[in-house]
Amino acid sequence: MTARRIFLLAVALLGMAVTAGLGRWQLARAAEKEAVLAAEQAAETLPPVDAQALLAARSAADVAALAQRKVTLTGQWLGERTVYLDNRPMDQRSGFYVATPLRLDGGGADVLVLRGWVPRNFDNRLALPQVQTPAGTVQVSGRVLTHVPSLFALGQESPGPIRQNIDLPAYARETGLPLLAAVVQQTGGPGEGLERDWPLLVSGAGTNYSYAFQWFSLCALIGGLFIWFQVVRPLRFIRRGSRGS
Provide mean pLDDT across the span 21-37: 93
Residue 51 lies in a domain: no
Residue 56 lies in a domain: no
Q: Give the pLDDT band (50/70/90) at residue 243.
A: low
Q: Are residues 85 and 125 in the same domain?
A: yes
- Tell me what pLDDT residue 117 has: 95
Q: Are residues 174 and 220 in the same domain?
A: no
Angle at which helix 3-44 crosses helix 205-227, to 10 degrees, equals 160
Q: Are residues 148 and 98 in the same domain?
A: yes
**CA geometry: angle 141, 147, 151, nearest 5 deg:** 115
Residue 106 lies in a domain: yes
Say how many domains are in the chain: 2
Q: Which of 92, 80, 153, 161 is nearest to 126 (CA)?
A: 161
CA distances for 171 relative to 11, 42, 93, 142, 167, angstroms: 51, 31, 27, 21, 6
Q: Residue 65 and residue 60: Cα distance in Å, rounded?
A: 9
Residue 193 lies in a domain: no
Q: Are residues 165 and 97 in the same domain?
A: yes
The larger pLDDT score, comparing residue 242 to residue 53, is at 53
Q: Are residues 82 and 32 in the same domain?
A: no
Boundaries of domain holding 145: 69-186
Q: Are residues 78 and 127 in the same domain?
A: yes
Residue 191 lies in a domain: no
Q: Are residues 79 and 154 in the same domain?
A: yes
Residue 45 lies in a domain: no
Q: Are residues 163 and 209 in the same domain?
A: no
Q: Residue 99 and residue 145: Cα distance in Å, rounded?
A: 13
Q: Which of 93, 88, 106 is nearest to 185 (CA)?
A: 88
| Distant-in-sequence, close-in-space partners of 159: CB < 8 Å, separation ≥ 6 | 174
Q: Give the pLDDT band (50/70/90) at residue 242.
A: low
- Tell me what pLDDT residue 134 has: 92
The pLDDT tens digits for 119-144 are 988 778 778 888 999 999 999 999 99
The larger pLDDT score, comparing residue 127 to residue 173, is at 173
Q: Give the pLDDT band (50/70/90) at residue 235.
A: confident
Residue 126 lies in a domain: yes
The pLDDT tens digits for 56-86 are 888 888 998 898 999 999 999 999 999 999 9
Q: Are residues 84 and 176 in the same domain?
A: yes
- Tell me what pLDDT residue 154 has: 65
Q: Are residues 102 and 157 in the same domain?
A: yes
The three-class DSSP label of residue 29 is helix
- Tell me what pLDDT residue 204 has: 85
Q: Are residues 128 and 163 in the same domain?
A: yes
Q: Are residues 90 and 170 in the same domain?
A: yes
What is the chain's alpha carbon radius of gyration, rounded to the nearest angstrom?
Answer: 27
Residue 117 lies in a domain: yes
Domain finish residue from 186, 214, 231: 186
The three-class DSSP label of residue 5 is helix
Provide mean pLDDT across the span 171-183: 93
